Structure 1
Amino acid sequence: MVGSATMKAGLVSITFRALSPERIIEAVADAGLRGIEWGGEVHVPTGQLGTAEVIARRTREAGLEVVSFGSYYKFCECLVGDPKVASPSYDAVLDTAEALGAPAIRIWAGKQSPEAVEDIVFFRIVEQAQRFAAAARERGLRLDFEFHGRTLTETATSTARLLDAIDRPNVRTLWQPPLQTSPEVRLAGLRQLEPRVTNLHCFHFGQNPWPHIRPLQEGEDEWKRYLAALEPVRNLGRWALIEHVREASLEAFREDAAALKTWLTAVS
């Protein structure tokens, strides 16, 4: 199986939380990338539809695409005794994604690792995800789970279990290298999920924990294996999105962007 350069390269905006949307758009265009996943915490706050519309227009005017709305919807209403602030309603998330012109919404599968989640909570999340998916489908939107530790999508196996239970065609998963696991484990997990993976979040920590990020170029051997594991027929709609760069540096971002573009070409 050989990957394809039809996969496009972009940026996750929360990589640069301190930068304005205008500066992010400029940096992405200058780096020769093609799209942005706009984050819902800082750059496009959920419910601020006017802001979403302005950023959508400016993104398009720069010749870039809106890849996704990176929401922080975490199914808090399904959790037991959660004292933290609740997720935004999924209606507000849908409205914001629509105003942004995003084809997909990034969502989070709760706030706990799978082994810590009781069955009743798991099935509450499944039922709520099915309702969310139905509402999203009416608007032509897809839901992509963040592939992340301390959620129900912590591992490839737990992600597959959740997606199997939800069983909706517009509910998929993102993928990124799980921290502090071996390249072999990461690759096996990607292959397990590959038909259900939409976009990739690209970074390199090596065997280091957060926040000790390394240059993406240092992960070349690993990333070429990951990209080559993707089925070309499914790559047409996929994005490889840079997330996390050293010291939130624009220079580091440009270096990582150059490496990623080279790899996407090499596996074509």
Structure 2
Amino acid sequence: MTRLGLCSVTFRRLPAAEVARRAADAGLEVVEWGADVHAPPEEPGTVRAARDASERYGLTCCSYGSYFRATPDESAGFPVVARAAVLLGAPRVRVWAGTVGSRDATPQERRGTVTRLREAARVAADHGLELALEFHAKTLTDSVASTLRLLDEVGADNLRTYWQPPLDTPDEEALAGLAELGDRVGAVHVFSWWPGNRRLRLADREDLWTGVFDLLNRRRVRLDALVEFVPGDDPAVLAGEAATLRRAAARRAAPPA
């Protein structure tokens, strides 16, 4: 049930058509187009080019990787993001939960982020879109507990979260967090970093990704697992990374000892 794909930010330096070609050649099915380079919301012509690249190479656009962070000066800008997502053909928009970590955010800052995300979810619903929160440090989704709380606080049916392995978190702990998020996960960003942000090949943490797919496949709902960043930003490694991803998706995790 899990579709395998690529985040276009993995290869920011390549034109959209080349990103799509390499994803298709690697046997991937879907693509998340990033708003920073390949599909800026204020450039409809560039957005159309990304959409056309998807279609030319038989890829489905699964999401729009926006950089809307629900900050006070961005509130009025989300409708532009939503329109770009529709033009792109993306059913989902990735958004960010502010710019302050959950432990550092004041109650007022948290309430403001909640209010702006709630309004963004309303606008998204008007455009037939879902939203998903980037699961990331220095935002209100920097922990599983804060993410679940935030989803409850916003209270929007069309809002879920992404998941990715937190930095320097052992496999068992990372998988426990994913399990706790449960059906509130809409997509997964795939990479193998260890320690810190040292980029490894997926095969170096294949047991982690086998465990991830084991959890996701039990849910029997469609999800997207998207390669995001590779060692050296090297397009030549994508085919091998995609093969590892398919292998992990097909394996079953070993039972605990």
Shorter-chain TM-score bucket reads over 0.9
1:215 corresponds to which of 201, 207, 212: 201
Instruction: Tell me how far 1:138 sits from its aligned partner.
Output: 1.3
CA contact (8 A) 1:55 1:100 kept: yes
Q: Secondary structure at the match of 2:103?
A: helix
2:94 corresponds to which of 103, 106, 115: 106
Mapping for residues 88-237 of structure 1, pairs under 5 Å: 89-206=77-194, 208-210=195-197, 212-230=198-216, 232-236=218-222
Q: RCO greater where, 1 or 2, for CA within 8 Å and sep 6 or more?
A: 1
Q: Secondary structure at the match of 1:199?
A: strand
Instruction: Please give the alpha-carbon distance, in whole angstroms, between the structure 2 residues aligned to 1:23 and 1:251.
Output: 12
Instruction: Please give the alpha-carbon distance, in whole angstroms, between the structure 2 residues aligned to 1:34 and 1:88.
Output: 34
Counting aligned pairs with the same residue, the percent is 34
1:262 matched to 2:243: no
Instruction: Please give the alpha-carbon distance, in whole angstroms, between the structure 2 residues aligned to 1:87 and 1:49.
Output: 20
CA contact (8 A) 1:202 1:241 kept: yes
Structure 1 residues not aligned, in runs of 5+: 1-5, 79-85
CA contact (8 A) 1:194 1:231 kept: no
Instruction: Tell me how far 1:263 sits from its aligned partner.
Output: 1.7
For residue 95 of structure 2, what is the amino acid of its counterpart? Answer: I
1:244 corresponds to which of 220, 224, 229: 229
| Cross-structure match for 1:29 | 24
Q: Secondary structure at the match of 2:181?
A: helix
For residue 19 of structure 1, what is the amino acid of its counterpart? Answer: L
Deviation by residue 1:18-48 (Cα, 9 ceiling, x = unmatched): 1110110110010000111000011111221
| Cross-structure match for 1:11 | 6
How many residues are aligned here?
253
1:49 matched to 2:44: yes
Q: TM-score, normalised by structure 2?
A: 0.94
Instruction: Please give the alpha-carbon distance, in whole angstroms, between the structure 2 residues aligned to 1:243 and 1:88.
Output: 29
Instruction: Tell me how far 1:7 sits from its aligned partner.
Output: 0.6
Instruction: Tell me how far 1:234 sits from its aligned partner.
Output: 4.3
Instruction: Tell me how far 1:123 sits from its aligned partner.
Output: 0.9
CA contact (8 A) 2:39 2:47 kept: yes
